[in-house]
Structure 1
Amino acid sequence: MSQDATTRTAVVTGASSGIGAATVRRLRAEGFEVLAVARRADRLAALAEETGCSTHVADLTAQADVDALREVVRERFGGDLTALVNNAGGAFGTDTVEGGKVEDWQRMFDVNVLATLRVTQALLPALRAGTGGDVLVMSSTAARIAYEGGGGYTAAKHAESVMAETLRLELAGDPVRVLEVAPGMVRTEEFSLNRTGGDAARADAVYAGVREPLVAEDVADCVAWMLTRPRHVNVDLLVVRPLAQAAQHKVVREQV
Structure 2
Amino acid sequence: NPKPWHECQVLLRPIALTFASNQIRSDNRKITSHDINDNFKSIFIDFISNNASVSLWCVNPQTFRSAILTAHQLGFINGEYVFIYLDTVLTQENTDEKSLAVRQPWYNSKEENNQINENAHRAFETVLFVRQRLYTGERFRRFASNVVDFARETNRTKYLIHETIGTDETNFYDAVVTYFKALKTHYTSINSQEITNNSETQIYPTLDANRFKTIICNRSIEGVNKNITMNQICDRIDIGYTIFDMNPDTGELEVKIILKQ
Q: Which bin holds the TM-score, normalised by the shorter protein?
A: 0.3 to 0.5
Q: Normalising to structure 1: TM-score of the pair?
A: 0.34
Higher Cα radius of gyration:
2
Q: Normalising to structure 2: TM-score of the pair?
A: 0.33
